[in-house]
Structure 1
Amino acid sequence: MWTEKQRGIRVSQQELLCKNACGYYGNPAWQGFCSKCWRERARPPVAQRQETRPNNDGTPLTFSKFEEKKSTEKGRRINTMRRLFWGSPSPPKRQESSESHANVLKAFQSLEPGDFTGFLKILRSPSSQRLQSRCTAFLNTMEAYHHLPVQKQSDLVQDFYQSFAEYFSTFPEAQVTQIMGHVEKLIMTRLHKWVFCHDSCDDEQKDLVLQRRIRSLNWVTPQMLCVPFPGEPTSVTGDPFLPAITAIIEMDAKRAPQDKLACVSKCSQHVFEALSTSNSEPANADDFLSGLVYVVLKANPPRLHSNMQYVFRFGLPHSLMAGESGYYFTNLSCAVAFIEKLDGPALNLTPEEFDGYMLHQRAPSSQAKNKRLQIAGDTQHLLEELQGRQEKLDQGMDALNMQLQEWVQAVNFQLDEATAQFTLVQTEITAQAELSLVSSSSSNNDLQQGLRKEQSVQVLKDEHEGPKDTDC
């Protein structure tokens, strides 16, 4: 079904590469060049001194003197910046011993991939004091001169990357890339608040323009972009691209360029996963770019232009020129460029239809139909879920009622037993009390009778014996 329509987005692999045929990825923001070639083209050529001797008529070349003065002032400014960064008119040569240098290199060689905490520990060690001092001096200087134009700040950061990487020139390229990734994160996490969306550029205005442009295209459907989309909702949301939308929105919360690139890579991987679940055929480059355009239109990421320019200016060149992150970021740039120039033919629409959609005078029938189907499916799913929950609630209430009745019966039975036992014990206690009273009274009577008998016997004895003789 998707192959019958003409795809609105077509970008070949060759079109993604640099115009200079250097083998790296180009970018629409750099007019199709990679970051290295773009910087070489954008960097103004060195002013050639036009000093010549006076003509025969003795007329001085005032312009040549002006150029000489300008070059002198430029050299003075360069030396000033070098003194700020290095503490001397020119970059100092390595003054550390070969043994200390070897110990530092050995410590960095033992660093595990992705261990940023370990990198900070090594950098703060006494053996790496020189490297730490360079980073600290550079950060303090950049913060002090944060009013410089953002392009100048970008050049200073890129020059610092290059000079720092020269310290590890003997390392393999992969290991240098890993170390420089940690350096980038350390530097740019602290400089983010000074250089992101700088006052010297119009990034904020372009963010607003891009956001309004994306908001005006909220009517674009996956079918218009030829994006394979499931016929039935896969979940309550009904959008398999939701994880990709979430990932691209998270990019604005990151501070280091590599973390923003990680969000772009995560978003792109989710796009491929959504395409694989929505289409039986493997996703190709056209499907991926169409899906990425759909994700950007639905997400409308905050400050998208500023985030992309931040990565352009302050990210490591190799992360944008090659590799998976470079490929994904180049496709994101192509998607943004496509959205900015989106018109009717790109969506297989006539200019009249496109203008009608942009003016909200009409809505895609397929979009309305799909929306109704989606709402109906979501409602049915919610009703079934609520019905199941109601049944479970009724069953729970019945079970709880039975348990409550059994408990009441058990309590009443135990109460009756306790009452009967209490009555029996009380009866026994009363009987024992009466018995003890009776026995005590009878024993008292017997004792009194015994005493009386003894007294009677004693009287009889006395009468029988008669009066006793007494001595005179």
Structure 2
Amino acid sequence: MWATPDKQRGIRVSKEELLCKNSCGYYGNPAWQGFCSKCWRERARANGAHGQDARPSDDGTPLTFSKFEEKKNTEKSRRINTMRRLFWGSPSPQKQQESPEGFGAALKAYQSLEPGDFTGFLKLLRSPASKCLQSRCTTFLNTMEAYHELPVQKQSDYVQDFYQSFAKYFKGSSDSQVTQIMEHLEKLIMTRLYKWVFCHDSCDDEHRDLTLQRRIRSLNWVTPQMLGVPFPDKETAVTGDPFLPAITAIIEMDAKRAPQDKLICVTKCSQHVFEALSTSNTEPANADDFLSGLIYVVLKANPPRLHSNMQYVIRFGLPHSLMAGESGYYFTNLSCAIAFIEKLDGPALNLSAEEFEAYMQRQHLPRSASTREQLCCDTQNLLEELKGRQEKLDRGVDVLYAELHKWVQAVNSQLDEALTKFAVVEKEIMAQVELADFESSSPHNVCPKEEDQVVLVDQEHGPKDTHC
């Protein structure tokens, strides 16, 4: 499936390799051995039924153990039949004929829902006209939670069957309207069942997550040039990694609960990859560039629980979201990228087996990695130099602060001395002023005026009136 990358186009995969091996026209998936979800389920169910019919009657086990197995299988079948009756009720045709007059108006209301109006869908589902649909959903959810210990593949089959039975209520609507309604239903059902079915104990998803995470971590030395990813040159005015938005989008997938929300993250990631390729390459990005860029994003991001998230979407997502359309194409490419990473070897990167092993053992580093190390070393030296300059500046500031403190003390001392001298001078001036006032008020210093009449005291003749 994989071709050796060249300098221009990197990893190559034809469109036919992305389609279902059954030639049904839908997208296949490595997780389904190249089949689409529909063909894979039909094939799995057929093999399961054949395996039950072909089971030998005498397998050499003791009679008591055979009876125990028979009793166990009978009990399991009884529980499954009970679940089916709880999920879909009796197959009586009268159930299909029961259609209240208000339900027709409710169907029109469902058809008028705006895209993404999940709140409006919940309001319609709670309306009296949708009581039968609400009852089906409630019964299904309660029963799935009660039987959450069933194998995850069996739970997946029940959820997919419930999707089909629920869609029959809207068979008179257009395909786009039914798709929109079913997306709302999927979000309602799987948001509630997420904690019960995600990374289920009956499967090895957690082990596969750890294995894939270690594998991606061991390949963190792979460069865009090795994958043939168009990357901006040093002369290109691009700040930072142009694939950073794509890395952020694929990491956010683990925080979502509904399969369609996880698919939206995959779609956003893929769109950001195309945007990064358009800024890094003068030519339009093609499918080969996109797959190479997506592989690089996965290696750089190392998304948490990637395998579990992919399997969750495969098991409980709506089939039309994975089999066709933009989301199906992007999800298939992501599955191919994961399969490529799991089988990555030297020839896929234009390396010999010895070179690949040396890189895996960290004995050699790619040229770009050496350049990054040199850049890191230069940056570290620059930081050390800046640190020394900063310490020198801090010492200068301390000296300046000490000198400023001494200057302030000197100024304060001079000011106190000046104030003291000023007080002495002020006292002297006040004394002189008082003396001058006293002298000016003395009789000998009175300046007589002709128009003023005063009484002069004569020591010999006594007081007498006179005019000065």
Tell me the TM-score normalized by structure 2: 0.72
Aligned positions of 1:67-466 closer than 5 A:
76-88=78-90, 93-97=95-99, 99-232=101-234, 238-370=240-372, 372-373=374-375
How far residue 324 of structure 1 moved from its aligned partner, in angstroms, is 0.3
Letter in 2 for 1:263: C
C-alpha distance in 2 between matches for 1:74 and 1:363: 56
Aligned: 1:36 with 2:38: yes
How far residue 44 of structure 1 moved from its aligned partner, in angstroms, is 3.5
C-alpha distance in 2 between matches for 1:9 and 1:28: 17
Moved runs in structure 1, 4+ residues, more than 3 A?
A: 44-50, 68-79, 86-92, 95-98, 233-237, 370-381
Letter in 2 for 1:103: A
Say if 1:82 and 1:91, in contact at 8 Å, map to a contact too. Answer: no
Letter in 2 for 1:43: R
Alignment deviations for residues 131-158 of structure 1 (CA, whole Å, 9 cap, x no partner)? 0010000000000000000000000000
Describe the SS at the equivalent of 1:43. Answer: helix
Alignment deviations for residues 235-294 of structure 1 (CA, whole Å, 9 cap, x no partner)? 896211000000000000000000000000000000000000001100000000000000
C-alpha distance in 1 between matches for 2:18 and 2:50: 34
How far residue 107 of structure 1 moved from its aligned partner, in angstroms, is 1.3
1:375–1:39: structure 2 CA closer, same or farther, 3 Å change rule? Answer: farther
1:126–1:235: structure 2 CA closer, same or farther, 3 Å change rule? Answer: farther
1:226–1:96: structure 2 CA closer, same or farther, 3 Å change rule? Answer: same
Structure 1 stretch displaced more, 367-376 or 124-133 = 367-376
How far residue 109 of structure 1 moved from its aligned partner, in angstroms, is 1.4
Say if 2:232 and 2:238, in contact at 8 Å, map to a contact too. Answer: no
How far residue 74 of structure 1 moved from its aligned partner, in angstroms, is 7.9
Say if 1:230 and 1:278, in contact at 8 Å, map to a contact too. Answer: yes
Describe the SS at the equivalent of 2:224. Answer: coil
How far residue 91 of structure 1 moved from its aligned partner, in angstroms, is 8.0
Alignment deviations for residues 38-83 of structure 1 (CA, whole Å, 9 cap, x no partner)? 0011113546999xxxxxxxxxxxxxxxxx9999878755532232
Structure 1, unmatched stretches of 5+, are 51-67, 385-472
Say if 1:233 and 1:239, in contact at 8 Å, map to a contact too. Answer: no
How far residue 234 of structure 1 moved from its aligned partner, in angstroms, is 6.9
Say if 2:10 and 2:289, in contact at 8 Å, map to a contact too. Answer: no
C-alpha distance in 2 between matches for 1:269 and 1:49: 45
Structure 1 stretch displaced more, 7-16 or 24-33 = 7-16
Letter in 2 for 1:320: L
Describe the SS at the equivalent of 1:239. Answer: coil
How far residue 336 of structure 1 moved from its aligned partner, in angstroms, is 0.2
How far residue 100 of structure 1 moved from its aligned partner, in angstroms, is 2.6
Tell me the TM-score normalized by structure 1: 0.72
Letter in 1 for 2:212: L
Describe the SS at the equivalent of 1:93. Answer: helix
C-alpha distance in 1 between matches for 2:89 and 2:197: 24
Count of residues paired in the alignment: 365
C-alpha distance in 2 between matches for 1:378 and 1:168: 65
Say if 2:9 and 2:228, in contact at 8 Å, map to a contact too. Answer: yes
Structure 1 stretch displaced more, 32-41 or 5-14 = 5-14
Alignment deviations for residues 167-202 of structure 1 (CA, whole Å, 9 cap, x no partner)? 101111111000000000000001000000000000
C-alpha distance in 1 between matches for 2:159 and 2:165: 10
Say if 1:6 and 1:348, in contact at 8 Å, map to a contact too. Answer: no
Say if 1:8 and 1:346, in contact at 8 Å, map to a contact too. Answer: no
Structure 2, unmatched stretches of 5+, are 54-69, 387-468
Say if 1:8 and 1:345, in contact at 8 Å, map to a contact too. Answer: no
CA RMSD of aligned residues (A): 3.0
Say if 1:82 and 1:90, in contact at 8 Å, map to a contact too. Answer: no
Say if 1:227 and 1:287, in contact at 8 Å, map to a contact too. Answer: yes
C-alpha distance in 1 between matches for 2:93 and 2:301: 47
The percent of aligned pairs where both chains have the same amino acid is 78
Describe the SS at the equivalent of 2:82. Answer: helix
Describe the SS at the equivalent of 1:238. Answer: coil
Letter in 2 for 1:225: L
Alignment deviations for residues 184-235 of structure 1 (CA, whole Å, 9 cap, x no partner)? 0000001000000000000000000000000000000000001011112878
Alignment deviations for residues 86-138 of structure 1 (CA, whole Å, 9 cap, x no partner)? 45476862353352331121111121111111101100001001100100000
Say if 1:151 and 1:313, in contact at 8 Å, map to a contact too. Answer: yes
Say if 2:186 and 2:317, in contact at 8 Å, map to a contact too. Answer: yes
C-alpha distance in 2 between matches for 1:22 and 1:4: 32
C-alpha distance in 2 between matches for 1:13 and 1:133: 44
Describe the SS at the equivalent of 1:171. Answer: coil
Say if 1:225 and 1:294, in contact at 8 Å, map to a contact too. Answer: yes
C-alpha distance in 2 between matches for 1:181 and 1:371: 48
**Structure with the greater alpha carbon radius of gyration:** 1
Letter in 2 for 1:42: A
Describe the SS at the equivalent of 2:229. Answer: coil
Say if 2:253 and 2:262, in contact at 8 Å, map to a contact too. Answer: yes
Letter in 2 for 1:242: L
1:197–1:275: structure 2 CA closer, same or farther, 3 Å change rule? Answer: same
